[in-house]
Amino acid sequence: MINAMKEYEFVLWVIGPRAHDKGKYYYELPENVVEIKEVFLDDALRIKPDKKKLPPLNDEEKEALEQFLDCERPNWEVLLRLFQDKHVNPSSFLMSKEFLDVLKKLCDEKYPYVPFASTFHTMRSMLLPVLYMMMQDVPKADLYHTICTGYAGILAVTGGYKTGKPVLLAEHGIYSREREEEIIRAQWVQPAFKRQWIKFFYMLSDAIYTRADKISSLFERAMKTQIELGADPSKCTVIPNGIRYENFCNIPLKADDGMIDIAAVVRIAQIKDIKSLIYAFHELRSKRSDVRLHILGGVDEDEYYEECLNLVDTLGLKDDILFTGQVNILEYMKKIDFTILTSISEGQPLSVLESMAARRPCVTTDVGCCRDLLEGTDGDQFGVAGILAPPMHREGIAHAMDKMCKSRKEREKMGEAGQRRVDAYYRQEVMVERYNDLYKSVL
């Protein structure tokens, strides 16, 4: 998108987990990126309390802080006045009597049977990154465009507050829902605090939903979810993803060599549910000897990746499953018969659009926009471009893969339908034009 919008200059205000990754970029920067401002979450842990006494809090500030601790729609302008304008030190605040008083009240009302130390450290680890976002120096811009809620949304809210400039949210997945799914399964969150962590991420979403001048999503159901979560319907619009169709449409189909090659173009992360894919492929392999699985993509979570490798080894699939790392998708697609995506949550996956553009049908879990991509929406007469399966359902995923393996003729028919759908609705130039119109509408 940045490459395609040469008339704009972009400052990238990016968040990473660890400061030792500073300056390490996966992509070549476009010429119209004029600045990169990096924020690292582990730097928040290095903030030392200062010796300045916390300024006296008025009733409005106390109320905002109480709501903030309880994750109940605080007044963000009041909080930003404290941590952006008055430069209150986050570590000093989290060690102050004022914080302790608010926390004690919360413990009495919400956590009377939980050890106080557990509540203290949970709240501290929950709030510190957000306070750190709110104290950041704001880069100058005419418009602040965030691609998700959460911490990035707080940076955009901070930018809009400090400069008075417009703020846009282009949400690809429903970030708060994805965090809820992760927290429900997470081992590191004490059961007593799971509800609070979930409320916390919904609170962060509400901050940007309220502040944004315009809010876009990738498909209709996602927009309806945003509205259910508090977004103003008059601010909301749908801008589907777009891909460079010409890059994929002429990739030749793989010759019939007696093997069926299946590809998952995916980053290795729990939300992508690679383990269910491995189990499902194991079941498929017990029925067919002519299948191979290629998992294409980088590693997001090292520990999860190791668990996946161990699972492959345990199931005896080392000769049948290949982890390739990051590859040239355009070249690798020539080796593939169809693709698979087993995510627990999705927006509108680019990997599915690219597969369809290359006439490779898809097996996907029924999440996000995948049903619309594979089966079309109202008025779409192109036909079915793949097979859906329930998320986290190994047998269902295995059955869908087995069904896709049975007929090359059916795969080619689905592939043609998918390619026509992408050509009609999901081209990059149309997406860029719509974002351009969105920019102009608020500038």
High-pLDDT (> 90) share of the chain, %: 84
**324 within 8 A of 296, measured Cβ to Cβ:** yes
Q: What is the pTM of this model?
A: 0.88
CB 297 within 8 A of CB 266: yes
> What whole-number percentage of the chain has pLDDT above 70?
100
Domains in the chain, start-ordered, CATH in brackets?
Answer: 10-238 (no CATH), 245-425 (3.40.50.2000)
**Total Cβ atoms within 10 A of residue 313:** 11
CA distance 210 to 329: 39
CB-count exposure of residue 267 (10 Å: 0-12, 13-18, 19+):
middle
Determine the angle formed by the axes of helices 97-110 and 116-134, rounding to 10 degrees.
Answer: 130
pLDDT tens per residue, range 93-146: 999 988 998 899 889 988 889 999 999 999 999 999 999 999 999 999 999 999
Average pLDDT, integer, range 325-354:
95
DSSP labels for 98-133? Answer: HHHHHHHHHHHHH-TTS-HHHHHHHHHHHHHHHHHH
Q: What is the CA radius of gyration of the chain?
A: 24
Average pLDDT over every residue of 10-36: 93
The confidence score (pLDDT) of residue 315 equals 97
Structure-block tokens of residue 224: 């309806």
- C-beta separation of 410 from 188 below 8 A: no
Q: Which amino acid is at 63?
A: E
Q: Which two tokens stand for residue 335?
A: 């080796």
> Alpha-carbon distance 353 to 368, whole Å?
13
Beta-strand runs (E) in 342-427: 362-365, 386-389
Rounded Cα distance, 149 and 172, in Å: 10
Q: Both tokens of residue 432?
A: 């860029």
